[in-house]
Structure 1
C-alpha cells in the first residue's frame, strides 16, 4: 500500500512502512533517509559508532596479538632510548695500541731460531775477527747443533773462523761453555774454523773469513 505526499509543487508516492512517519518523499518519488537530531543521517551516525567501537573490540578479541604489539612497542622505545643515550654520551678518545715488537736481523745477516749470523767477506786473524764481531754487537759464532747444519750449508767452499778455541786440553766457546757436540774437531791447534762438514783447528794468527752471531733484536 502506498500513500501520496505532497512536497512543494511535487507529489510523490511513498511506500507504507513502520518508519513512514519519520521519512519524507524525494522529488523522484523515493524515500530519503531520516535525519538525526543535528541534521545528519541516522545511518551515518551508526557507521561512526561502529568505527569508534571497532578497535576496542578487535584488541579484546585478539589478546595474544595485542600483547605482541605492546611488547614490540616497548622494545622500540627502549632501543630508541639506548641509541639516544649512546649518542649523547661523551666520546672517549681511543688510545693507539702499543706496537708489538718485531724481532729480526740486520740487513746482510741470516736469522735462525732467534739468532742472527753474519758471514764476513774479509779475512782476519781469530783475535781480530773477535774484535770485529764485538764492534757489530756480536761475537764469533757460538753454535748449537742445528745452527751447525745451517752454516755448513751456507759456507759454500769458504772456511770461516767460529768462536771455539782450545784452552788447555779442552775446547770452549767464547761464552766459557764447554764444547760438547757430535761434530768432530780435527787437529790440536788452538783456534777452530768451519771446514766441509766438520771443524778443523789451526794457528789463531792465520787470517780467514769469520762468522759472527748475536740474538735477534727489535727492528
Structure 2
C-alpha cells in the first residue's frame, strides 16, 4: 500500500487506457490524499504522436487552476529553453509524475510543497499508463522527483544530467535527465542554470535526430 488509508492509483485507472480515457478517469482518482485540496487533477498535454515526453514533478498553482501542465512561470522557462534547444513544444508531450498540486496555504498564497515518496509511488500508475499509451522514443526527466518516479530512489540529477541514459526499466529506448525549470527561477545564477537546462534539452534533440 503506497500510504496510510489510501490504495494508490491502480484501481482508479480505466480498463481501456487511451490518452482520452486516462485524462477523464484521473479526475476521479482518490489514490492518495492530494485530491482533497487540489482544484483538479492535471493530466499531460501535447502531441499524441510525440517521440519525446518531458516529465516534471507536479502541477504548480497556475497549472492546478488551469488544468494544464507547464502553463505557469516554470512553463514559460521551459518553452523558451525548448525553442533555443531546437525542440518544438507542439511536437512533444509534457506531463508530471504527480497529477495533483501539493501546497501549503500561507494567507491567500498557495506555496508549492514537494510530494512525499509515498505520494509519488501512489501516482506512478498514471504516469506509466500515460507513457504506455504514448510509446515515445525518449524521455526528458525534469528534476529529482521525475527521475526517482521512473528510475528509483537512488536517482540523482547531478550525477545523471546532460547525457543519454539507457537501457531503461520502461518501454522507452532512452532518457535524458536535467533540472526542473523552476530551479532556474529560484536560483541566483539564473543564466548559468538556464544555459545548462537548454544544453541538456539539446542532448535530447541530438538523440532524436540520430546524432546522439
**How would you bin the TM-score normalised by the shorter chain?**
under 0.3
Report which of the two has the higher share of helix: 2
State the structure with more CA Rg: 1
